[in-house]
């Protein structure tokens, strides 16, 4: 079941989505949050940091698991997703960093560490709320369009389109890692509640295909149509088609 929450602009969209995460933490203070990177959720993190600074929200008992990480980047590399999470959220709230999990970009045994990441999610009792952005090709996490829906955490070879879209964070396209570790579609489908954020006209086509198109691994986000509780937060531009 997909619920669409419209907002006039990115700021309002971010606040509305932050309210849902805020509500999740009130509902279950020891919840497991699945977190995402990219520019789409930055506004949400900004709002949550404000809520924390104002004494409205407490992350003491929250655990987080991130969707993905670039292969080959250490957590102190400024473009790594671990670094991103520290910079945008973890360093500014009272979450216990030992309870924040991001796939290990430097793993020397990828099969093992991917299986361990799946086992970790199981041990935590599953994910209560998963935050997602969407790529221009309909990817979620780093699950790229393909012939089948990937199940668990796995190593992905990034598409040219994704490298192109993400090069803005690096000195050049050549510096963007070619692979990443990502939760799989099954990990994402098994969460209790999904919050997807999309902003800007450049996301409109991918979002439309995901929400209303055929359910196909060619548009990985389309599988969300089968999930029992998906909240899609959009600004007007993102639903302009
Ligand atoms: C990356 C991330 C995704 C994210 C996507 C869109 O590929 N792995 O999790 O959703 O980019 O990013 P943005 O929000 O910057 O458009």
pLDDT digits (tens, 9 = 90+) for 47-63: 999 999 999 999 999 99
Share of the chain above pLDDT 70, in %: 100
Q: What is the pLDDT of residue 240?
A: 85
Region 77-84: mean pLDDT is 97
What ligand 1 atom has the least distance to the C-alpha of 41? 14
Around 127, how many Cα atoms within 13 Å sit in the side-chain half-sphere? 30
Around 215, how many Cα atoms within 13 Å sit in the side-chain half-sphere? 7
141 CB near ligand 1 (under 6 Å)? yes
Question: 94 CA to middle of ligand 1, Å?
Answer: 25
Work out the burial of residue 162: count CB atoms within 10 Å of its CB; fewer than 13 is exposed, 13-18 middle, 19 or more buried. buried
Q: What is the pLDDT of residue 241?
A: 74
Region 76-83: mean pLDDT is 97
- Asked whether the predicted pLDDT for residue 146 surpasses 80, the reply is yes
67 CB near ligand 1 (under 6 Å)? yes
Question: 157 CA to middle of ligand 1, Å?
Answer: 15
Region 145-159: mean pLDDT is 94
Asked if 19 is an active-site residue, the reply is no
Region 227-241: mean pLDDT is 94
To which residue do tokens 């209560």 refer? 128
133 CB near ligand 1 (under 6 Å)? yes
Q: What is the pLDDT of residue 80?
A: 97
**Confidence (pTM):** 0.96
142 CB near ligand 1 (under 6 Å)? yes
What ligand 1 atom has the least distance to the C-alpha of 141? 9
Q: What is the pLDDT of residue 221?
A: 98
14 CB near ligand 1 (under 6 Å)? no
Instruction: List all residues 6 or more positions away from 23 whose beta carbon is below 8 Å from its beta carbon.
Output: none
Dist. CA 72–CA 23, nearest whole Å: 36
Q: What is the pLDDT of residue 116?
A: 98
36 CB near ligand 1 (under 6 Å)? yes
Region 75-89: mean pLDDT is 97
Asked if 139 is an active-site residue, the reply is yes
What ligand 1 atom has the least distance to the C-alpha of 132? 10
Question: 139 CA to middle of ligand 1, Å?
Answer: 8
Q: What is the pLDDT of residue 190?
A: 98
Asked if 205 is an active-site residue, the reply is no
| Long-range CB contact pairs, 162-165, < 8 A, 24+ | 162/135, 162/137, 165/135, 165/136
Q: What is the pLDDT of residue 208?
A: 98
Asked if 66 is an active-site residue, the reply is no
Q: What is the pLDDT of residue 233?
A: 98
Residue 6 in contact with residue 35, Cβ under 8 Å?
no
């Amino acid at each position: 079941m997909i619920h669409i929450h419209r907002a006039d602009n990115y700021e309002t969209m971010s606040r509305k989505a932050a309210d849902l995460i805020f509500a999740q933490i009130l509902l279950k203070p020891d919840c497991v949050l699945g977190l995402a990177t990219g520019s789409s959720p930055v506004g949400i993190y900004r709002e949550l940091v404000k809520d924390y600074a104002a004494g409205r929200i407490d992350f003491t008992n929250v655990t987080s698991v991130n969707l993905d990480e670039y292969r080959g980047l250490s957590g102190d590399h400024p473009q790594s997703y671990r670094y991103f999470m520290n910079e945008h959220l973890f360093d500014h709230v009272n979450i216990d960093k030992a309870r924040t999990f991001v796939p290990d970009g430097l793993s020397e045994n990828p099969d093992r560490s991917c299986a361990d990441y799946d086992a970790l999610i199981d041990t935590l009792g599953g994910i209560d709320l998963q935050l997602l952005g969407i790529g221009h090709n309909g990817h979620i996490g780093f699950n790229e369009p393909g012939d089948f829906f990937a199940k668990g955490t796995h190593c992905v070879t990034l598409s040219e389109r994704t490298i192109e879209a993400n090069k803005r964070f690096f000195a050049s396209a050549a510096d963007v890692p070619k692979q990443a570790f990502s939760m799989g579609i099954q990990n994402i489908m098994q969460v209790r509640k999904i919050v997807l954020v999309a902003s800007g006209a450049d996301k409109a086509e991918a979002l439309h295909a995901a929400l209303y198109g055929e359910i196909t691994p060619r548009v990985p986000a389309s599988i969300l149509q089968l999930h029992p509780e998906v909240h899609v937060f959009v600004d007007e531009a993102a639903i302009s088609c």
